[in-house]
Structure 1
């Protein structure tokens, strides 16, 4: 009798186990519909401003420059000063108002050993003890008699005597740096002062050939 009772109990346990496992292996139900969107969260605090970046290199796309132009000042001049004009139709009224216009003079001599031509360039104005002061003045089209802007080269002797080496500087060229790039002043201390730069520095800065 005891054996029969044990068999009945064992059968009930097995049936219960099969029922439990059968329920756990059923297929997943269908995904229910999405719930409604919750309210937007509050805006976070604004982050601190980053440090300003370094200034970029000056642009070169709009910089213009002339060819080298031979002087028209002769060796001997029967006066203590003289001028000659270089027509510069590229110089506009806007350039005269906002651009930086630089003028350079060039001294060319032959090397005694090789005969090669050696060039030295000077930004005007420049003074030579034995030759005088070379200056450049930019005239607007309305101020010149040529109908276009003019770069006027002026030479004055240091002592008021007549000029006897007028072509010490034999060639000239001008460079136009547009875009409101102002010469350094009390109100623009961070602006580059191009008038203090050498010819080499200017040509490297603006990729002038």
Structure 2
């Protein structure tokens, strides 16, 4: 009886192993075939270039300015015009050819209000004064201040300005892109001095 059970167990074990061998295919365990690669998606559009930044302003360290220089005009000018020379050694040929030269006149203090007025040259005063003031540059380092009567044959009279000063702004400003450089000639004296931190 025991022998029959042992044979039966051995038979079923052998049958089980045989069924496993026949059930497995020789191809089992191999990697499946690689699928076809999908098409690449459309390339994203390149981003637009950023807008160009505005041109930087001229640094105040590059701006040259004089102190207030006393007028050398006579108290009452008999001639129809007159001028005097201011030494401006910083006013080089580069400033003359490429830079900006600004000149201002400051009036004699009002004896009542102690106020003074600052004007950019050139300037023409109308009926009240009938005078014109301007400056000219003949060569590097030499700045001439001039005044004249606006009435032909009339003496220039009593000067309005008692002091003058010059401000030299270097050139070489670019106008590329959309940046527009400031027009310093259209700024008031107060705007200009505040912009560049110019001391009185």
Question: TM-score normalised to the size of structure 2?
Answer: 0.68
Structure 1 residue 87: Cα displacement: 0.7
- Aligned to 2:118, the other structure's residue is in SS state strand
Count of matched residue positions in the alignment of Structure 1 and Structure 2: 152
C-alpha change, 1:180 and 1:53, in structure 2 (3 Å) is closer
Q: Structure 1 residue 172 and structure 2 residue 172: aligned?
A: no
Tell me what 1:125 maps to: 122
Aligned to 1:202, what secondary structure does the other structure show?
helix
**What is the CA RMSD across the aligned residues, in angstroms?**
2.6
SS at match of 1:61: helix
- SS of the counterpart of 1:73? coil
CA contact (8 A) 2:125 2:132 kept: yes
Q: d(CA) in 1 for partners of 2:78 and 2:171?
A: 42
TM-score, normalising length from structure 1? 0.65
Q: Gaps (5+ residues) in structure 1?
A: 1-42, 142-148
Establish whether residue 162 from structure 1 lines up as the match of residue 155 from structure 2.
yes
Higher gyration radius (CA): 2
Instruction: Report if aligned partners of 1:63, 1:177 keep a CA contact under 8 Å in 2.
Output: yes
After superposition, the Cα gap between the structure-2 partners of 1:54 and 1:93, relative to the gap in structure 1 and judged at 3 Å, is closer
Cα deviation for residue 156 of structure 1 reads: 0.9
Which whole-Å deviations, capped at 9, do the CAs of 1:28-84 have from their partners, x for residues lacking one?
xxxxxxxxxxxxxxx987432122334444421200100100000112122100111
Query: What does the per-residue CA deviation read over 1:108-157, in whole Å, with 9 as the maximum and x for residues that have no partner?
Result: 324526xxx3221100001112140000112214xxxxxxx211011010
Rounded Cα–Cα distance in structure 2 between residues aligned with 1:81 and 1:128: 14
Task: Give unmatched runs, 5+ long, in structure 2.
Answer: 1-42
Alignment of 1:183-198 (within 5 A): 190-198=180-188
Distance 1:84 1:45 in 2: 67
Does the Cα contact within 8 Å between 1:58 and 1:205 map onto a contact in 2?
no
Aligned to 2:20: none
Q: Are 2:196 and 1:206 aligned?
A: yes
CA contact (8 A) 1:105 1:123 kept: yes
Alpha carbons of 1:91 and 1:57: their partners in 2 closer, same or farther (altered >3 Å)?
closer
